[in-house]
Amino acid sequence: MGFGELLEQVGSTGRFQVLQTTLLCIPMMLMASHNLLQNFVALVPPHFCSAHTNLSQSQMSAEEALLVTVPLDQTGKPERCLRYAAPQWHLLTKNRSSNSGKEGDTNAGLDVDLQGCSDGWTYNMTHMKSTIISDWNLVCDQRSLKQMGQTVYMGGVLLGAVVFGGLSDRYGRRILLLISHLLMAVSGTCAAFSTTFPLFCLFRFGCGMALSGVVLNSFSLIVEWIPTSVRTMVGTMTGYCYTVGQLMLALIAYFIRDWRWLTLAVSLPFFVFFLIAWWFHESSRWLVMSNNPEQAIKNLKSVAKCNGRKEEGEKIDMKRLQETMKKEMSCSQGTHSVLDLFRTPTMRRMTICLSAVWLSTSFAYYGIAMDLQKFGVDIYLIQVIFGAVDIPAKVIMVVSMTYIGRRTSQCGALIIAGIAVLINLLIPYDKQTARTCMAVLGKGCLSASFNCCYLYSGELFPTIIR
């Protein structure tokens, strides 16, 4: 049985596993907060060009100042990126003398010069007191920078997966987890105090890298200290931590409406997590594979003591370790690389198919979950709904995988999600309820597909799950 036999001897589901798994899962909740933080810190408030600097507003209301400064678009709303080159006082006169209420007609037939917002923008801060959009005017010609900020963050996630995944095999899961927690705390704190948008992107890139390090190494420490029989259940429970994190984000953002304080609120706890992580035990299995059997035995005895099996733990010595893990130790002598996934036809087919599923699921999931403002519903409400839908979705997926099979369940979830997303494209923008319902259905199915992908990856590629 290899390492599993030693794990049973010291207690495979005892006090130690419960405590360590719980402490490793708590930071997972704030992973969702960082992943979806863009929905709130980069919320685009309603905006229009500020009035001319020489325009006296002392004797007119804000609505009247807006009327003579900013033209209306085809829907009757103020233009976001254009204003009159000079105040149009005659519009104010017409507006006061007109009782028709059709303000959009006051611009008809007029040939007036327009200009950009040279004096800045005025923002309607209803949902947030401040965002990176209002602080750095990332609107109009600069509106693409909002997406760039999220792209930079996801680039950090990608690089972090490569860097921390590889380094954890060389230096251990625990030390890389410590570094990831500290990097997240420092990068998140610095992002909150950023004075320019490039600095903000730089520190968010660090947050993205740290997120990958935390997730990968936490998952490794969890599964390598529990028996195979409970990994599916524990993996599902870990997934629910991310779901709870989405609900927590809506609650935190509702009460903290300044983007700097919000970023601090989801980053500072990682200083505490960094201190807690010093207690974690390095994976004894990894220690054996890394030719450090003495420390592996020491950790196993410590786990046995924590689980109330001190006498059983004392029976583990070098001879017992070598006899039990002889096969695993012999396999560790060889070297493996990502090319091993493509050497045989069967592995090549599984790798390509699973990669395609991961790509399609991730692309659609984050496309929906990271731009909630486009649904036209209260941003806090939609965040709660999108988080809550994961609960029944994952339960249904677990039941479906148990009785129908994982491949069929995965296909069904992806097909339903794809249909929901395509239907959403056909629904008119003003049908907000219908669009939101389709999006919620699609997001729930994609979340269930994510859960299935993790389990598939863990079973098909157990030695290279990262």
Look up the pTM and report it. 0.84
Start-end of H helices in 36-143:
38-41, 62-69, 89-97, 132-136
Q: 386-423 pLDDT, tens per residue?
A: 889 988 888 888 888 878 877 888 888 889 999 998 99
Phi-psi region of 239 (alpha: psi -120 to 50; beta: other; left: phi over 0): alpha
How far apart are the C-alpha atoms of 11 and 85, rounded to whole Å?
Answer: 77
DSSP characters over 290-342: TT-HHHHHHHHHHHHHHTT-HHHHHT--HHHHHHHTHHHHHHTTS---GGGGG
CB 217: neighbour CB atoms within 10 A?
A: 29
Residue 286: in which H helix or E strand, if any? Answer: helix 284-289
Cβ(66)–Cβ(78) below 8 Å: yes
pLDDT tens digits along 156-169: 999 998 888 888 88
Low-confidence spans in the chain with pLDDT less than 50: 99-106, 108-109, 462-466
pLDDT value at position 352? 86
With contact defined as beta carbons under 8 Å apart, do 121 and 139 qualify? yes
Q: In sequence order, what are the residues at sequence separation of 6 or more whose Cβ sits closer than 8 angstroms to the Cβ of residue 133?
A: 42, 43, 44, 45, 123, 139, 146
Sequence letter at residue 99: N
pLDDT at 300: 83
Taking alpha carbons only, the member of 46, 51, 82 closest to residue 64 is 51
The Cα–Cα gap between 184 and 205 comes to 10
- C-alpha torsion sign, points 368, 259, 212, 248: negative
